[in-house]
Structure 1
């Protein structure tokens, strides 16, 4: 099972952070306290210094950072594939393994060549991993915002049970979609964005 740990301290402008809540592996969510409640408890018990608080990126900045990372990777993939003569008219589905290896999971005549490009070019591979992490975090932020719209409670930590369950399911969906991208005709799309779009469309 792949366990995702979003390292906020790696994002530009962020201060060093301690974990705010226990990391729960995918598929092993507790039956007692919900994940969102655990996060809330962690947030209440974690005290930031004023200078650390000032250096934390806002959700808007994190969303912008994810969008920029995706556009940057899109351009770099287009250049790398063009220089190598890779057919980009055939969709290329890329997946990141739990060990950080990048593979092509869709049928493509240049599969071996693409995997060599992605795994042997350290900078490009790092960009793939960075984009996977940032787009997943952005999707979690968007899902959280959508869920807040459905809550009627004044207390931000008191969320209706059905809202908590929907959020936890989408957290699982995002974790399962982590690191899955498609490059088709010069356009990069991620599976986590599709999860978010599907969820937003239901509201």
Structure 2
């Protein structure tokens, strides 16, 4: 529970350990949940084109790409933080920082569980046929598949996860790169702001 109530102590303790198994399990779980969420959303879109055989494998292809994408996004984001902190005289190996940075994905795991529940609940009740009968443009159909309640629910979940991420990123940078917390928080906040802006753009796109 320290990761919620005392993240400083949490990252300080884990920065002294040389364990790659737990970080790997965390990212594997994150990627698995990402692929499940992707399957649920892609399966709904597939209902629009049920008579096209080639599209039947789309949900499974989406799952594979999402699973791989989870690991890639983790590596890229960790590498970006690591490179930026080089210019702030950051210390410590990339391996150590990579292991510590994996723990910042715990909020994402919780967020994805909530997103999977929300997506399954809202999307399983969508009447695809009635939407198709009212609209013939595929882009508009896909846009109308997602209820506005779900879009705002996803935004609120992503917002909460991002804010939590910012705090954990800052402590991961502090102990993984030996940089004072104030500077670490500024770096984390910039990335957090970018993430929130992308989420806002996503809402606008579906309104």
Normalising by structure 1, what TM-score? 0.32
Q: Which has the larger radius of gyration?
A: 2
Greater helix content: 2
Greater strand content: 1
Normalising by structure 2, what TM-score? 0.31
